[in-house]
């Protein structure tokens, strides 16, 4: 039985950085639709070096059925050029526990970091030679 998508996201490619915003509680249908959209949007970046900045402030976790999809998705982007992965949200042990499970540390060359403010993530990405300005991602970071 197919269920309606429950969960929201926005994806914006800003140069070599994929900026994402996530909200609500996610079901399996949301995970599958998000992954399809993500892979379409980042297709031009494949086999280059790129980074991700994900804002999880309004994300309210995901059902257990999303895990296999998101884990496979994360391995996919790690194998296709993603080097840096920033997660932005206020301190929340539940989010941290689920995201640590869903986004495994990858091979060498991939690094995931947690930030409580988007500007700190942008500054770190800039220090890693991934140019991103606050205005580039304002539509997502101010959701």
| pLDDT at residue 46 in the model | 94
Confidence of residue 140 (pLDDT cuts 50, 70, 90): low
Average pLDDT over residues 101-119: 85
Query: At residue 31, what are phi and psi to the nearest 5 degrees?
Result: -60, -45
| pLDDT at residue 143 in the model | 39
Sheet holding 111-115, edge to edge: 8-14, 17-26, 50-62, 82-88, 111-115
| Residue 3 lies inside a defined structural domain of this protein | no
Confidence of residue 109 (pLDDT cuts 50, 70, 90): confident
Residue 90 in this model has a pLDDT that exceeds 90: yes
- Structural domain of residue 112, as residue ranges? 8-141
| Residue 1 lies inside a defined structural domain of this protein | no
**The model's pTM:** 0.90
User: What CATH number is attached to the domain comprising 113?
Assistant: 3.30.750.24
| Residue 105 lies inside a defined structural domain of this protein | yes
| Residue 14 lies inside a defined structural domain of this protein | yes
Number of compact structural domains in the chain: 1
| Residue 67 lies inside a defined structural domain of this protein | yes
Count of helix runs (H) and strand runs (E) in the chain = 5, 5
pLDDT digits (tens, 9 = 90+) for 111-129: 999 999 999 999 999 999 9
Kind plus residue range of the DSSP H or E element containing 69 = helix 67-79
| Residue 2 lies inside a defined structural domain of this protein | no
| Residue 59 lies inside a defined structural domain of this protein | yes
| Residue 125 lies inside a defined structural domain of this protein | yes
pLDDT digits (tens, 9 = 90+) for 17-39: 999 999 999 999 999 999 999 99
Contact 69, 31 (CB under 8 A): yes
Residue 114, beta-bridge partner list? 87
Strand-pair category, 111-115 with 50-62: unpaired
| pLDDT at residue 78 in the model | 92
């Amino acid at each position: 039985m197919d269920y309606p998508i429950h969960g929201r996201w926005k994806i914006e490619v800003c140069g070599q950085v994929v900026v994402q915003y996530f909200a609500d509680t996610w079901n399996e249908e949301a995970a599958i639709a998000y992954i399809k959209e993500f892979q379409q949007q980042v297709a031009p970046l494949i086999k280059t070096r790129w980074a991700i900045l994900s804002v999880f402030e309004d994300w309210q976790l995901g059902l257990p059925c999303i895990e296999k999809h998101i884990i496979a998705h994360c391995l996919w982007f790690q194998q296709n050029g993603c080097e840096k992965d920033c997660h932005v949200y206020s301190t929340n042990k539940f989010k941290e526990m689920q995201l640590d499970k869903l986004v495994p540390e990858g091979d060498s060359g991939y690094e995931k970091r947690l930030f409580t403010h988007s500007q700190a993530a942008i500054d770190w990405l800039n220090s890693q030679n991934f140019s991103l300005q606050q205005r580039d991602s304002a539509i997502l970071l101010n959701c």
